[in-house]
Amino acid sequence: MRFPHRLTLIPALLAAALPLPAGGAGAAPPPQAALAQVEERVYVESSVDSNGDGRLDRIAIDIARPATGGPFPVVFEQSPYRNGLANAANHAVNVSALPQESLFPLIPGAPPTTGPGINAARPLPDLPDWYDDYFVPKGYAVVLGHSLGTGDSDGCPTSGDMQETLATTAVVDWLNGRARGFSASGAQVTASWSTGNVGMIGISYNGTLPNMAAATGVAGLKAIVPIAAISSWYDYYRANGLVVAPGGYQGEDADVLARAVVDRTGCTSRIDQIETDQDRVTGDWKQFWADRDYVGKADRVTAGVFVIHGQSDWNVKGQQYAQWWDALRANNVPRKIWLHNGGHGTTSRTDYRATVERWFAYFLKGIDNGILTEPRAEVQFKDGTWRQYADWPNPGATQAVLKLDASSATAPGGLTLGTPTGASAQQFTDNGRTSTATTLVANPDSANGNRLVYRTGNLTAPVTLTGSPRVSLRLAVTNRNDANVTALLVDYGGTGTSTTPVIVTRGWIDPQNRNSRATSEKVVQGSEYTLNFAMQPRDYVFAAGRRIGLVVISTDYDYTLRPPAGAVLRLNPVASTLTITQTGLATGEYPLSVSPAAGATNPGGTLTTTVATAVTGGSAQSVTLSASGLPPGSTASFSPSTVTAGGSSTLTLSTAASTAPGTYQVVVTGTRTGATHTAVYTLTVNGNAACKATNPTDVAIPDAGAAVESTVTISGCPGTASATSKAEVHIVHPYRGDLVVSLVAPDGSSYPLSNRSGGSADDIHQTFTVKLAGESANGTWRLRVQDAAAADVGRIDTWTLTLDS
């Protein structure tokens, strides 16, 4: 069947979701008469009770599958948009003062007031409706799910936390026979037609849900295609301590989104709690945001990940794909990335559907179609052309550090790779809510008291940017407790031209969060601080004859809160820099890369990798290679040990039989006269399998009851346990602060792991390092858990003990 667009044909969607009769007069012909399909509605029982009604929430799913044959792998899209969106008032963004200014007042004062909210519905993403028509004829089943508290599912929406995640993975569990499903009449039904191999796909929120599910490592989820997807909700609604908006939706926040998608009564107090916990005053990273972060859980991802994202997407900004990609790389997850030049949506490539199907065929059907041997990264530029890279950012690029140069206190300044000739301090006044960034970057040849501008000279050759530019700004706020700080990377015309500037990318920071996004610190008026922060990633070509520009402003009208004008900021150019990763600048430098970038071997084993260099400007020079960070007893050798930049060498890593298991970061260094460059190879030395054991059997944890235990038995592990033994613990519980968790050795010795820590956060998914030196390795080890307070129940889900870490 064809699931219609959500806003225009909601009644048709609801009708289509009902179980279809087997036949009968007046029945509409199937969309593809040659292919018989079964369509049905199932309600899957999850492990969460998000609305607190004492009943596990059931998740509605609609299924389309071939009527004969099987079993079939599954293409699964989970969505909170099945019934459209309600109007939800956004938060006010025109404020009398930045709310965080009251955190460290110079004199006591009343908190800032806020104006009326904006009653505006957020448009739905342009969700694809082609899944069943395309995939069912190719031998897949298609499942369209209704996310927690939305559509026809039970519960309350929770804007990305573990409850919503587990409601999604429950569907994967049901498709693998690990959860219960029911028909509309209440009869229990199974997915006997499913192979258990599941691939998830979706755009925007629907693409975020695959990231969420994959970050649990749920068994059976083999592949995901997250399109325009979030990897950390903090970076959707915050930036380095500032409250920021998704592009086009000023004032939206996690609570507004929950109110827009909720389709159930009884959720008001729970969404009100989201509004409180998200904290629009400090903008700090807190447990609320940690609960909605998947980047830090990338080590659990076992699915192959095919990332698709638009470089002009300012709704789900580029940092979302960049940090997710970096984390997947660090954990050696099979992956592929397409970065198109469009906005919030998928690519218009003609091979889009076929490539997605090839991704699923490889991981869900086991068809070796060569998709993992193709270039890992493909990037589209503004002229519409695509470039292929071995990875992203372009590994052939190198960093260029541009220094700010200011010869006067008012005139526009320069950017130089050399030594600045001027070092005059410059200041500007925030224009508050009265100017946009587009207005402020205009007329760069003239002084403007509301911004600072720095530019290179005319480029002699095209310069191609890749990845995330970074700035280091030495800055003071002279007359207020705090201020917005915004950096804009701008493509300017050459000297004497009047070409309209192009804002290539931007970034934001709160000076109170100069040392940590998690902690606000007082800003002393007039004191200089170093602000280090990244702009959003972008692959972009600055044409020959153009100029690279950095513009520093305060309030960014379209993204930050908008205080009244008047904050004065002073910048120290001589202590400030712009760093870009690029090709084309005549830096005389060279990048260093290793491929593959990671490998694993048993103690006493050997691995090889290729170390490559490339010249990005200037003349090729001799580069001497060396390695550090090797585990004890291991050696590294290069053949050859010295190369001319542009050449490559084979690195051989040999471990000893006595090398301790673990993961080691081997730093490969290339040295030439006056400079060094590095690359990192991740070496994993496997442990003794006999020293590791897992118990996946669920153990119920009674409410405020006696302690329960889950056991594993170690045998054949030589000697004693390590001082860095690891206990990987997964406990499902809606209030982890109730739990007392300990590891009990065979001799009865107890080692505390978690003693009622974590407050009101959900679950424990954590690997604990335990000092077990001296404990005999072999014997029965016990994970002991007690719920020490009333009102909640949970279970030990699974745990793994590794004694030779």
- Cβ within 8 Å of residue 265, ≥6 positions away: none
Distance CA 282, CA 303 (A): 36
Q: Are strands 118-119 and 238-239 parallel, antiparallel or unpaired?
A: unpaired
Q: Annotated catalytic, 313?
A: yes
Structure tokens, 332: 């050696």
**Residue 260 backbone dihedrals phi, psi, to 5 degrees:** -75, -30
Q: Annotated catalytic, 730?
A: no
| Three-class DSSP category at 173 | helix
Question: How many angstroms separate the most distant Cα atoms in the chain?
Answer: 86
Tell me the C-alpha to C-alpha distance, in Å, between residue 736 and each of 299, 419, 425, 585, 679.
22, 55, 51, 53, 40
| Three-class DSSP category at 610 | strand
Question: Residue 746, class by beta-carbon neighbours within 10 Å (0-12 exposed, 13-18 middle, 19+ buried)?
Answer: middle
Q: Cis peptide leading into 71, omega within 30 of 0?
A: yes
Q: Give 248's DSSP letter.
A: T
Nearest of 579, 491, 500 to residue 532 by alpha carbon: 579
Structure tokens, 152: 């026809």
Rounded to 10 degrees, what is the CA torsion of 338, 339, 340, 342?
A: 130
Catalytic residue among 46, 50, 204, 576: 204
Structure tokens, 791: 């009102």
- Cβ within 8 Å of residue 532, ≥6 positions away: 470, 471, 472, 514
Q: Which residues pair with 780 in a beta bridge?
A: 713
The answer to whether 64 touches 136, Cβ cutoff 8 Å, is yes
The answer to whether 153 touches 84, Cβ cutoff 8 Å, is no
Tell me the C-alpha to C-alpha distance, in Å, between residue 405 and each of 408, 433, 495, 497, 576.
9, 29, 17, 22, 9
How crowded is residue 755: how many other Cβ atoms within 10 Å of its Cβ?
11
Instruction: Convert 469-516 into a string of H (helix), E (strand) and C (coil).
Output: EEEEEEEEECCCCCCCEEEEEEEECCCCCCCCCEEEEEEEECHHHCCC
Q: Are strands 335-340 and 377-380 parallel, antiparallel or unpaired?
A: parallel
Q: Give 434's DSSP letter.
A: G
Q: Annotated catalytic, 204?
A: yes
Q: Which amino acid is at 61?
A: I
**Residue 135 backbone dihedrals phi, psi, to 5 degrees:** -90, -35
**Residue 289 backbone dihedrals phi, psi, to 5 degrees:** -80, -35
Q: Give 363's DSSP letter.
A: I
Nearest of 129, 124, 59 to residue 260 by alpha carbon: 124
Distance CA 167, CA 48 (A): 7
Distance CA 98, CA 485 (A): 12
Place of tokens 């007069």: 25
- Cβ within 8 Å of residue 482, ≥6 positions away: 98, 100, 101, 510, 511, 512, 523
Catalytic residue among 49, 255, 291, 313: 313
Catalytic residue among 91, 309, 344, 677: 344
The answer to whether 560 touches 567, Cβ cutoff 8 Å, is no
Catalytically annotated residues: 204, 313, 344
